Amino acid sequence: MKYYQKAVSTPGIPYYTYEEMQQDLAALQAEYPAFLQLHSAGKSVEGRDITEVILGNIESRFHILIQASMHAREYMNTILMMNQINDYLRQKTGKCLENQSCKRYASFQDVYGIHTFSRDKKYIHRALNNIQDICFHIIPMANPDGVTLCQNMNAALANPIVKKCAASRQEANNFIQRWKANARGVDLNRNFDIGWASYIGAPAPCGEGYKGPSPASEPETQAILHTASKYKFACCISYHSSGNLIYWDYGCRGNLRQKELALANYASTIIGYPLHSTIQDAAATAGCSDYFVLKLKIPAITIETGAGECPLSTEEYPEIYKKNNNLWINLYRVMQYLI
């Protein structure tokens, strides 16, 4: 059993570490060398590789960027990414079709009236053929330092910023476990150069809400921007927690807004999470999805998994996985609306 499968097999908080993720990715690459490539999108503040997983042919017509765990305490989404990567590879190689315990496909009609899903092997083969023209770029842990700080108390207290912030808290352990920022106390999802100047947030480095000394000041932010500059992405999907909802509507207009709505509606149909407008909800700016939509003109959504307080309990994982595990293999259906 892989580390990411073990992490959610015991009730409690799933401590799936950066090192375990790297070991799992290396093992998957060794098992599926023809289907998976590993690249370093950049280095974190503390020198950890920010790993980009490439599934498919880089010469494909469509490229999709999916990133998770930008907020440190939301690392259950890394486990979800790893399970989805494993599912994708098993489907591509046919291993999944021989195993009755593999995921099944619920029957429903999508929002565009395309034929209903089925559970037979022929459907899965057709779906796999249709995603031949899609290349997935997955960053399963965008903030490896922050995740490590959340999970390792010794590492956290060795960091002067975390130690200083925790010292003023009565429940220091709980405060550290709920850390969202990177190793410099910067909230990475407030560090993008869109609405950065107007966002107030925290005045100094801390667990959450500090936007950094300048836009894209952090190497983790720069790693995502570097990846975005290398390919012409059809869309970007960011995984966060919690809320069991999908954020869209970042303020664009016209054709781009229609593309964004198509992506959001389709994801909502597959996952079952309701849509929320960031404009109507007055959500904070300077985030990754804001940047992709408003600066790069690329449709983007943010999927908020789970309902509880982060870090999420393993009790929530089965439902999170059940709702999200059909998304990737069916994204080909919405690609025609994004070009």
| Residue 93: predicted pLDDT | 81
CA atoms of 307 and 313, how far apart (whole Å)? 10
Biggest distance spanned by C-alpha atoms of the chain:
59
| Residue 247: predicted pLDDT | 98
Q: Comparing 74-83, 109-118, 145-154, 329-338, which segment has the lowest mean pLDDT?
A: 109-118
Is residue 117 predicted with pLDDT exceeding 50? no
**Quick one: which of 162, 334, 119, 135 has its CA closest to 230?**
135
| Residue 110: predicted pLDDT | 33
Angstrom CA distances, 179 to 24, 30, 71, 218, 281, stand at: 25, 34, 8, 17, 24
Q: How confident is the model at residue 48 (pLDDT cuts 50, 70, 90)?
A: very high
Which domains does the chain carry?
Answer: 3-144+224-335 (3.40.630.10)
| Residue 339: predicted pLDDT | 76
Q: Tell me which amino acid residue 276 is.
A: H
| Residue 171: predicted pLDDT | 82
- Structure-token pair, residue 69: 């765990």
CA atoms of 277 and 270, how far apart (whole Å)? 18
Q: Comparing 105-109, 164-168, 171-175, 220-224, which segment has the lowest mean pLDDT?
A: 105-109
Q: How confident is the model at residue 337 (pLDDT cuts 50, 70, 90)?
A: confident
Is residue 127 predicted with pLDDT exceeding 70? no
Is residue 45 predicted with pLDDT exceeding 90? yes
Q: Which pLDDT tens digit goes with each residue over 147-171?
A: 999 999 999 999 999 999 999 887 8
Q: Which pLDDT tens digit goes with each residue over 222-271?
A: 999 999 999 999 999 999 999 999 999 999 999 999 999 999 999 999 99
Q: For residues 93 and 13, which has the higher predicted lDDT (pLDDT)?
A: 13
Q: Which pLDDT tens digit goes with each residue over 282-328?
A: 899 999 999 999 999 999 999 999 999 999 999 999 999 999 998 99
305 DSSP 8-state letter: E
